[in-house]
Amino acid sequence: MKLALIGTGKLGCALLTGLFQRGVLAPQDVGLLSRDAHKTCQVAGRFGAPVIGRGDLAGAEYILLCVQPGAFQEVAGWAGGHSAGYISTLAGVTTGTLSRCLGSERAVRAMPSLAATIGRSQTALTATPGAEAAGDLAFAQGLFGAVGDTYRIPEHLFDTFTGMSASGLAYAAVFAEALADGGVRMGLPRPLANELAQKLLVSGGELLAERPHPAMLKDEVCSPGGTTIAGIRALEGGNFRRSVIDAVEAATRRGHELGRGERETGDS
């Protein structure tokens, strides 16, 4: 078994979708395991991957932890101690905590997003020296590189990456919803307003990728005394920029809190 996936929630399914669609791994090479046996069987049926038990982890080359941070201590109690390389997507749980609680010097920390389902995830990666020496970081880069872009960054910036990039999908969704609400308020039918908001974010992202700074696109759209600059003024009046900055800061701080909590629990 090449990979044992512990956790079959939204992120786990997103990764499976991207990996199998792009042929990085075959379904028979990935074993599925979670606390919810019924759900695991449903996911297994959907992807054609086998359901495994805790005893099967000894035969895995890599073990991917895709559970909530609060479940880490419980999972580490029965998933640790194997010779496999460990890869974790748990927010706030450091490589030091992973190594200590799993009893392994081979720990890779990854932070992907649900955009893995369409091959557009942005994944941060860092690893312990033991994982780098064993080639685990290279494996993780191939794993997550198949579902988007990977960024190897210092671990002290992981929470910031999470607060901006991984959480950013939700911020964009809230903006799209609010934009559509504005259209409805001014008379557009809801289905049309939703479609316009969705397509706007897609085209906006593509246009931004062609420019070195987002302000350039804003300046191109804003004509003197026009409608767009009037809308920008309204956003500024509502502290739009400040709210977005505060959102990234709040998410980053929450990542710090999760990390402190995991370390304190791991030391007890």
Alpha-carbon radius of gyration of the chain: 21
For residue 3, the SS3 value is strand
In this structure, what token pair is assigned to residue 134? Answer: 């064993």
Pairing assessment for the beta strands 121-127 and 107-111 based on DSSP bridges: antiparallel
CB count in 10 Å sphere of residue 2 = 15
- Residues in contact with 49: Cβ distance below 8 Å, sequence separation at least 6, in sequence order: 16, 27, 28, 30, 31, 32, 43
E strand segments, 56-209: 62-65, 85-88, 107-111, 121-127, 148-152
10 is an annotated ligand-binding site residue? yes
8 is an annotated ligand-binding site residue? yes
142 is an annotated ligand-binding site residue? no
Contact, 180 vs 193, CB < 8 A?
yes
- The whole-angstrom separation of Cα 78 and Cα 263 is 18
Angle at 246 between CA 240 and CA 247, to 5 degrees: 90
9 is an annotated ligand-binding site residue? yes
7 is an annotated ligand-binding site residue? yes
266 is an annotated ligand-binding site residue? no
Which residues fall in the annotated binding site?
6-11, 34
Which residues fall in the annotated binding site for NADP(+)?
6-11, 34
